[in-house]
Every structure is written in structure tokens, then in C-alpha cells.
Structure 1
Amino acid sequence: MDWPVFYRGRRVLVFGGAGFLGSHLAEQLVKLAAEVVVVDAFVPGSGARRENLQQIAPAIELIEDNYGAVHRWAARLQPDSVIFHCAAFNTHSWCNEHPEEDARWNYVPNCALAAFLRRLPFPVRLLYASSRTVYGLTARRSLSEHDRVAPADVYSLHCWASEQLLLHYTGGQHAVAALRLPHLYGPRQRLEGQEIGFVGQVLRAALRGEPYELYAQGMVCRDLLYVTDAAEVFLRLGACSVSGVFNVPGAYVPARTLVHVLETLTGWRAYRFVDTPAPSFPRLSGKRLQQVLGWLPQTSLWEGMRMTVAALQGM
């Protein structure tokens, strides 16, 4: 079955559907004529915004609650429904300082979800938005799904624990996939607050003409993935009914490449390359994803940043 056809008329739940990635997924699902249920608690600082759903609000059902409150959404599921799980409170420093609170938001609800799925009398498909940070800091140049995980902070630890719980404690009847995502960017990206990630920091500085220092002479490399490309991976995998862990790679580029793209797009020149050492992030291997989907990122860094800058300047 062609994957867009798979979603026509299908009941799909999007946890964290008012957030950055979740809202793009919900929007694409509406275009595919799916029956979309968004579950979002609108936690301050999480990136969830009502404006993200404004254009599709008449076409979706919105349940304002934590996805761990299973009773609020359980009746919406049907056999072979799809759950896209994009809900997380991913502020790494705060999570390190408040590990119990982080568990309350990022792990305990997944325990309730796993227990519910274990009892569910019919199969569904679950795709969980995990993170490349579960691999921790490593000297390896490339990371496959078989490489050792070593979470370096509380958020990443709970992220890994959640993906393993959902993969192995849901009864075996469901198709469960964990997608380890790199740095995402695109329209609706959060630029306010302290923990907005490297791409958010550079974008904010470029759009505001603010100074920014880049370590290691801007040669630190990262995987950068446009948000609609990430959404497409979720949609394609959801239609395949596959289980397991998948790395989702992006454009693997040094920081100075991103800076020069933004300089061309915005005229920003208030950046500075400094010698302060910093390690590069290993490239995510997308070999398994290519084997299953034949997929590669569709959006170049230039085109993705052009659309991102245009959207953020128009806000």
C-alpha cells in the first residue's frame, strides 16, 4: 500500500501534537485525510503552542492532558491505529537539576502507556521520538543502532529508558519503533528560553543580529534535519508496521557551514570563530532506515534554512 493512502480515514493520535515536530506531523496527517487526535498538556517551556494548531484546529480533536492520563484518550484507539509519540520536556540542564521532576514528565507517563498497551486487546502502531543524545559523548566517528548507549544527562537517560520500556514491555503484539533524532530545525522552532539547542541559538542570534561565538573555529560537526523531513520519516515508518530502533540522520555539516548559510540569508556577521576546543558529534548512520524505507533527507541545508528564516521572520 502506498504510504499516503494508508493514513486516509485512519485514526491517528499525536502525543505532543502542539509542539514543534508534533504539530508538523498533525498538519501532514490532516492533509492525508487521517482522523487526527492531538494529546498535549501545553506544559510551559515545552514548545507547545496553540498557534501551531491554528490552521488545522477545525479538522482535529484536541485533548488537553498529559498522555500518561491514559483514560483521557484510550477510547479513541482502534485496531491498527497509529500513535506518534512526540511529547517530551527536553531541557537538559533543568532535568539534571530536577531528576525527579524530569522522571514525572518524561518517564513515568511512559510507564502508564506501556502498561496500557500491554493490556490492549488489539494491535496498534507506536512511533516514539527518541534522541541521538542517548549515545552520549563518544570518540566514534559514526553511530549505528548497534553502538553502545551512554546517556550523559538525566533527560537522555529517561529518553533511553522510555524507548526500551516501550520496545520491550508492551506485550509483543504492537509495532513499536524508536526514532533517534538529530538536531531538528524549521518553522515553529522555539527561539525563546535558555535551552533551545545549538541551532536555535544560532538562528536567534542571526535573526536578531546578536553576537555569537563558535568553538573549535566553527569546525564542530552536527547532523541537522529539517522538521518536515523528520515528519515524513515518522509517516513512512508508521505505514510499514516495523519495530526496533532507527537512527534518523540529517545533513552532517560543520557549524561554520550553518553560519555562512545564515549570513547569506540574513546579512548576519556578528559571529566569531574561537579556538576553544569542543568535540564534534559523530555522524548518525542511516543505513538501517535506508534498508527499510529507501529514504534519505530530501531538504538541503540551504533550502531548509531559507524556509525557516522566512517563516520565523514572518512571525
Structure 2
Amino acid sequence: MSYFSARCLVTGGAGFLGSHLCERLLDHGHEVLCVDNFFTGRRTNIEHLLDNKRFELMRHDVTFPLYVEVDRIYNLACPASPVHYQHDPVQTTKTSVHGAINMLGLARRVGAKILQASTSEVYGDPSVHPQPEEYWGNVNTIGIRSCYDEGKRCAETLFFDYRRQHDLAIKVVRIFNTYGPRMHPNDGRVVSNFVVQALKGEDITVFGDGEQTRSFCYVDDLVEAIMRMMETPADVTGPINIGNPGEFSILELAEKVIALTGSNSKIIRLPLPQDDPKQRRPDITKAKQILDWEPTIRLEEGLKKTISYFDNLLAQKPATA
């Protein structure tokens, strides 16, 4: 797929997913303004881009208005792991809702096309499996995960209301579990948890009976889908699921990580957190039809790259740098 050169704003650009997107946009010849407040994003994720003349870094919180001139806005800003988004749940909701309002306002002022990085969490603990975009979800509005789930649901509402009310060019993707290099080692997500625990020789903590399932998409595949979505015709708004439809139990993932790391770690079980989904798997029919996209990187291949990244990271001092 070919892309014309554009001025791109990536909010949350120093985060795990945002840094990979910034990198890919630069590879395609775009100018990139990376905006991050560094709550969960890290400078080390984008340090290798700082010498690029088409890359600019700005420390800014999207809950405050931003005045810049851009053609494309990729709105990725928001803590995405339970450990981080539950640390300050009020701020998490503000980031999703106020952040969406501010970025939509910017897009309207400058005539930019804007993409919202929504999430599979809008489906809650689903009663439909796999989850198609037409499914409205099963979400607890007052639970400990609600700051993220409901914040993202409200952001989607805002995007479609801006389109209906202001004819804004919007794109919405619902991202399922994504993993790869530059994940935060302490973000509490299952892949990073298991890999770090295995590399340290610690017990691997599985919540519940471990039979709950997830689908894991490698970050390179995910970024490709995001870029394809941004370049779709104006009448394609989404939401579109992007993720890997391959489904694995949490126990299967733990065993695979132990095997690939050669670790002596033991698997222990802890109580299941509140509202933890029992099943999570995308129906990517629309992504295949509209974006001509599906994941190409198998779980074992992606895990090897992720393990190598964390192995190098843990060898540094401090380990969480």
C-alpha cells in the first residue's frame, strides 16, 4: 500500500504501540509530531528517532487543548494496562474523554483526518464469541476496570457524534491484545508479566484456573492495520476489529513462555480479578474485507522477539529503564 507524505500527530507516541507507529510513519516518509505526557510512555522508546529531522517530540497532556498544524491525527493516548489505568482511574477517564474532545476539536479546526485507537475492552466480559463489531458488549459501568472500558466507549461515541454533527473524517479501530518489544516491564499485562517472571526465574502468576482465553497480535501486524485503516476512503469509519483471531488459554501462554525461555519457573494460581473477561477473540472479517489485512506473525515467532527484548532490558541497570 502506498502513502502520500503527511504531517502526522501521534498522541501517546512514546508508548509501546505509539513508538512503533511513529517509527513506521517515518519509514513511509511522513513528518511525525510525537505527543506524550510520559505517564506510561518512555523516552527510551523513541530516543532512536530524535535525530530524524522529520520527527518532533512534545511533552503534553491531551486532557488540555493542543494547537498545531497537522494532516493526520492518531489518537493513542491512554494507559492501556490494568495496573496503569487503575492507578489513577479518574485521570484515565479524563484522558479518554477529554483527550478525545480535544483531539476531535483540533481535527475539526485544521481539517485533519483522525483515528481513534479504541479497544476490545468495549466488549467487556463478552457473551458473544468471537466478538464482531456489531456486538454492543457486556460492561460493568461501576467496576474497577470501568475507567478504561467506559472511557473508551464514550470516546467512540464522541467520534461518531463529531462525524454526524460536523462531518469530520474519522476512523475507529478496536485493538485486541497486542505484544512485542517496548512493552513496559511492569505494566501487568499477561505477556510482559510471564516473560519477565520467566526470565527472572520467578513463579509465573496465572489468575483463576488459567482456562480464560486471549488472542495475541504482534505489534508489527497491528501497526500495519492501523496505517491501512487511516488510508481507507472517507466512507469507511469503522469501528473495525484489529487483532489476531488465534485463541490461546492463559495456561497455554504460560507454558509456551516457559519453554521458549528455558526457565525453571513454576506456575502458581491467584484469585481472578474483578470483571476479568473469560474469553477474548476478534472477528476480523471486516479487517480482511476492507483493509485486506490479517496477522502474519505467529505467536511463537513474536514471543521470541519479545523475550529477546526483555532479556536485553533486564540486563541493563536499572531493569525498568
With over 3 angstroms needed to count, the CA separation of the structure-2 counterparts of 1:266 and 1:96, relative to structure 1, is closer
Assess if the C-alpha contact under 8 Å between 1:134 and 1:156 holds in 2: yes
Aligned equivalent of 1:201 = 193
**Could you give the per-residue CA deviations for residues 116-155 of structure 1, whole angstroms, max 9, x where no partner exists?**
434x363x22111111111111332211110112333221
Alignment of 1:34-183 (within 5 A): 34-43=30-39, 46=40, 48-59=41-52, 60-73=55-68, 76-77=69-70, 81-92=71-82, 98-118=88-108, 120=109, 122=111, 124-152=112-140, 153-170=146-163, 171-183=165-177
Aligned equivalent of 2:27 = 31
Instruction: Specify which of 242, 247, 253 is matched with residue 252 of structure 1.
Output: 247
**Structure 1 letter corresponding to 2:48:** Q
TM-score normalised to structure 1 length: 0.86
CA distance in structure 2 between the partners assigned to 1:70 and 1:276 by the alignment: 41
With over 3 angstroms needed to count, the CA separation of the structure-2 counterparts of 1:144 and 1:51, relative to structure 1, is same
SS at match of 1:151: coil
CA distance in structure 1 between the partners assigned to 2:66 and 2:87 by the alignment: 31
Structure 2: tracts of 5 or more residues without a match: 141-145, 314-321
With over 3 angstroms needed to count, the CA separation of the structure-2 counterparts of 1:99 and 1:301, relative to structure 1, is closer
Assess if the C-alpha contact under 8 Å between 1:63 and 1:72 holds in 2: no
With over 3 angstroms needed to count, the CA separation of the structure-2 counterparts of 1:125 and 1:228, relative to structure 1, is same
Number of aligned residue pairs: give it.
299
**Structure 1 letter corresponding to 2:153:** W
Instruction: Specify which of 10, 19, 30 is matched with residue 14 of structure 1.
Output: 10
Assess if the C-alpha contact under 8 Å between 2:198 and 2:261 holds in 1: yes
Cα displacement (A) at 1:156: 0.7
Aligned equivalent of 2:286 = 288
CA distance in structure 2 between the partners assigned to 1:25 and 1:99 by the alignment: 26
Cα displacement (A) at 1:91: 4.8
**Structure 1 letter corresponding to 2:200:** R
CA distance in structure 2 between the partners assigned to 1:191 and 1:149 by the alignment: 30
Identity of aligned residues (%): 25
Assess if the C-alpha contact under 8 Å between 1:91 and 1:155 holds in 2: no
Instruction: Specify which of 246, 259, 266 is matched with residue 264 of structure 1.
Output: 259
Aligned equivalent of 1:228 = 220
With over 3 angstroms needed to count, the CA separation of the structure-2 counterparts of 1:271 and 1:179, relative to structure 1, is farther
Aligned equivalent of 1:300 = 298
CA distance in structure 1 between the partners assigned to 2:17 and 2:85 by the alignment: 21
SS at match of 1:137: coil
CA distance in structure 2 between the partners assigned to 1:308 and 1:154 by the alignment: 28
CA distance in structure 2 between the partners assigned to 1:275 and 1:158 by the alignment: 28
With over 3 angstroms needed to count, the CA separation of the structure-2 counterparts of 1:279 and 1:113, relative to structure 1, is closer
**Could you give the per-residue CA deviations for residues 252-306 of structure 1, whole angstroms, max 9, x where no partner exists?**
2122332232122211232326597886313210011111012111110000001
SS at match of 2:93: helix
CA distance in structure 2 between the partners assigned to 1:309 and 1:93 by the alignment: 21
Assess if the C-alpha contact under 8 Å between 1:82 and 1:125 holds in 2: yes
With over 3 angstroms needed to count, the CA separation of the structure-2 counterparts of 1:39 and 1:94, relative to structure 1, is closer
CA distance in structure 2 between the partners assigned to 1:306 and 1:88 by the alignment: 27
Assess if the C-alpha contact under 8 Å between 1:216 and 1:273 holds in 2: no
With over 3 angstroms needed to count, the CA separation of the structure-2 counterparts of 1:31 and 1:310, relative to structure 1, is same
Structure 1: tracts of 5 or more residues without a match: none
Cα RMSD (Å):
2.4
